[in-house]
Structure 1
Amino acid sequence: MSEDPAGTPAADPWDTIDDLCEWLEAGRPVGGREGLLLRMLKLSEEVGEVAEAVIGATGQNPRKGTTHTWEDVEAELCDVVITAMVALRTLTPGARDVFGRHLERVAGRSLGTPGA
C-alpha cells in the first residue's frame, strides 16, 4: 500500500470502486443485460466530455472561445478511468485481478518487463 504525502496509507482504489458499484446497483433503474450494456455505454459519454474539455481548453470552438481549463481535462480523464473501472467491476467481481493481469501483459509488450 502506498502512502499519501502526509504519510497516511492510501486506500486501495478498487475498494472505492466496489463501494461505488454497490451504490450504483442500489439505485439502478435498469437491470440485467440491458443495465450492463448501459454501464458500458457510460464510457462513451465520459470520453465525449474529455473531448469537450480539450476543445474548450484550447478554444477551438470560435463561437464559445475558451470554456475549460486543463484541470477540467484532468478531471474528465479521471472520470473516464473511474467509469472504466466501474464497468469492469460490473462485468466481473474479479476486476482487480483481471486488470492487474492485463496491465502486466501490456507492460511486458511495451516495456519488456517480466509477466508478459
Structure 2
Amino acid sequence: MRYPRTTAGQLGVGWLAGHRPTGRPARVLELGEEYGEAAEVITGALGANPLKGNSHRWQDVEKELKELSDVIVTAVLALATSSPDPEKALADRV
C-alpha cells in the first residue's frame, strides 16, 4: 500500500521542532511512556500487579488502547528524526 509523501512523521517533525526541544533521544524514550500507559491499564485489568490488584476495568482498557495510536505516531516521529533514511529503515523491516 502506498501512502502520500506527507506522512505523520513529516507533519510531526515540524511540530516537534517548535514544541519539544528535548532532542532525538527523548523522542525514542517517549515510546516507553506511551507504551507504558497502555500496559499499565492492561496490567490493572488483569490484576497482574499484586500490590495494586484489579485497579482498572476492561472498559478502561478499551479506552486506553486508543493510546496505541500515540505509540505509532511517536515511533514514526522518532524514526523520522533519528534515522538518516527513515523510509529505508522502515521498508527493511516491513
Normalised by the length of structure 1, the TM-score is: 0.61
CA distance in 2, matches of 1:78, 1:13: 20
Listed one character per residue, the Cα deviations across residues 25-66 of structure 1 (whole Å, up to 9, x for unaligned) are 122333xxxx1111111011111111112124x252436342
Larger RCO (CA within 8 A; separation ≥ 6): 2
CA distance in 2, matches of 1:95, 1:81: 14
- Give the equivalent residue in structure 1 for 2:67: 76
Paired residues in the alignment total 89
Structure 2 residue identity aligned to 1:47:
Y
Q: How does 1:10-89 map to 2 (within 5 A)?
A: 12=4, 15-30=7-22, 35-56=23-44, 58=45, 60=47, 61-62=52-53, 64-66=55-57, 68-73=60-65, 75-89=66-80
2:84 matches 1:96: no
- Cα distance 1:76–1:65, how it changes in 2: closer, same or farther (>3 A)? closer
- Cα distance 1:92–1:45, how it changes in 2: closer, same or farther (>3 A)? same
SS in 1 for 2:20: coil
SS in 2 for 1:43: helix
- Cα distance 1:65–1:41, how it changes in 2: closer, same or farther (>3 A)? closer
- Cα distance 1:68–1:50, how it changes in 2: closer, same or farther (>3 A)? same
Structure 1: which 5+ runs fail to align? 3-10, 104-116
- Give the equivalent residue in structure 2 for 1:113: none
The two structures, once aligned, show a CA RMSD in angstroms of 2.6
Identity of aligned residues (%): 29
Structure 2: which 5+ runs fail to align? none
